[in-house]
Amino acid sequence: MRTHKSDIIGIDIGGSKIRAILWDGKRIKASYEKKTPLNKSEFIKILHEITNKFLQKGHRVSKIGVGSAGVINKNTIVFSPNIPYLKKMDLAGIFPRSLKLKVDNDARAFAKGEYLLGAGKKSKNLLVITLGTGIGRAFVKNGRVKKIKRFEYPEKWEKQYQKIRSGKKIRLTIFIAQHLLPIIKYYKPDTIIFGGGVIKKGKKNLFVKLKTELIKRGVKCKTKKSALQENGAAIGATLLFRN
């Protein structure tokens, strides 16, 4: 059976896992996930596995979109705080030259996915927060994902967040709400979306507690849970080819 020409591989590179999907513009046709390795050679091997997996099954892939934590310059991961070996890595040299490639920060990719296809539709000022190995932040204003360089770097309080992340939910939600408040006040979003592995693992209870803590601190905008969840950044990465 012939597949659509617009099939795109979307890859989400995070501190704890690498997730890839094959996207035809409407749905996920195939997926792949592995733990993020501890060294560069294994990392490159996984990216090759992803490409080969989708190409060998007869899918007509034309593009690859990648969302990666850290500082991005065109197709190069300049620096990734929780993956130290990803330093000045040009991804264009890893994937087949026949495939068009776009790379962006994973939180920005996630935000694009939520704005176009997820819980952020119709929002004029959308703040997206991903809670995983690190804290991802992205802001969408009037339909455009803003390139805010400070959001590519970890917050000063991220190390402390990592220490208490697996502890009591009450302490974690209070900590997150307290430290996100200055960002929320500065960008004045009409909607905040929370996603990432910590939100998923905590399920509804953690999200509700976090929302309650923000309300206690005077946050009045809409607060939503990600509609795309674990596939958010990977789906968003396929949308990097849209204006």
pLDDT in tens, 139-181: 999 999 999 999 999 999 999 999 998 777 679 999 999 999 9
Residue 113 lies inside a defined structural domain of this protein? no
For 130-141, what is the mean pLDDT? 96
Q: Which helix (H) or strand (E) holds 222?
A: strand 222-225
pLDDT tier for residue 239 given thresholds of 50, 70 and 90: very high
User: 138 and 93, same structural domain?
Assistant: no
Lowest-pLDDT choice from 62-71, 201-210, 229-238: 201-210
More confident residue, 68 or 200: 68
pTM of this prediction? Answer: 0.92
User: 235 and 224, same structural domain?
Assistant: no
User: 87 and 51, same structural domain?
Assistant: yes
Residue 150 lies inside a defined structural domain of this protein? yes
User: 88 and 139, same structural domain?
Assistant: no
User: 75 and 53, same structural domain?
Assistant: yes
User: 182 and 139, same structural domain?
Assistant: yes
- Domain count across the chain: 2
**CB distance 32 to 53 below 8 Å:** yes
Residue 114 lies inside a defined structural domain of this protein? no
DSSP-based three-state secondary structure for 243:
coil
Task: Output the pLDDT for position 3.
Answer: 41
User: 45 and 28, same structural domain?
Assistant: yes
Burial of 15 (0-12, 13-18, 19+ CB in 10 A): middle
User: 162 and 88, same structural domain?
Assistant: no
User: 207 and 132, same structural domain?
Assistant: yes
Largest CA distance in the chain: 55
**CB distance 184 to 192 below 8 Å:** yes
More confident residue, 56 or 72: 72
In tens, the pLDDT along 74-128 reads 999 999 999 999 999 999 999 999 999 999 999 999 999 999 999 999 899 999 9
Residue 115 lies inside a defined structural domain of this protein? no
Please determine, for residue 201, whether its predicted confidence score (pLDDT) is greater than 80: no
In tens, the pLDDT along 22-37 reads 999 889 999 999 999 9
User: 224 and 125, same structural domain?
Assistant: yes
User: 73 and 171, same structural domain?
Assistant: no
Task: Output the pLDDT for position 208.
Answer: 93
Please compute, for residue 155, the number of CA atoms within 13 A of its CA located in the half-sphere on the CB side: 19
Residue 116 lies inside a defined structural domain of this protein? no
CATH code assigned at 163: 3.30.420.40
In this structure, what is the dihedral angle of CA atoms 177, 183, 188, 194, given to the nearest 10 degrees? -50
Residue 2 lies inside a defined structural domain of this protein? no
Average pLDDT of the chain to the nearest whole number: 92
What is the extent of the structural domain holding 69? Answer: 7-108+231-241
Please determine, for residue 204, whether its predicted confidence score (pLDDT) is greater than 90: no
Task: Output the pLDDT for position 229.
Answer: 86
User: 149 and 93, same structural domain?
Assistant: no
Residue 148 lies inside a defined structural domain of this protein? yes
Residue 49 lies inside a defined structural domain of this protein? yes
**CB distance 237 to 104 below 8 Å:** yes
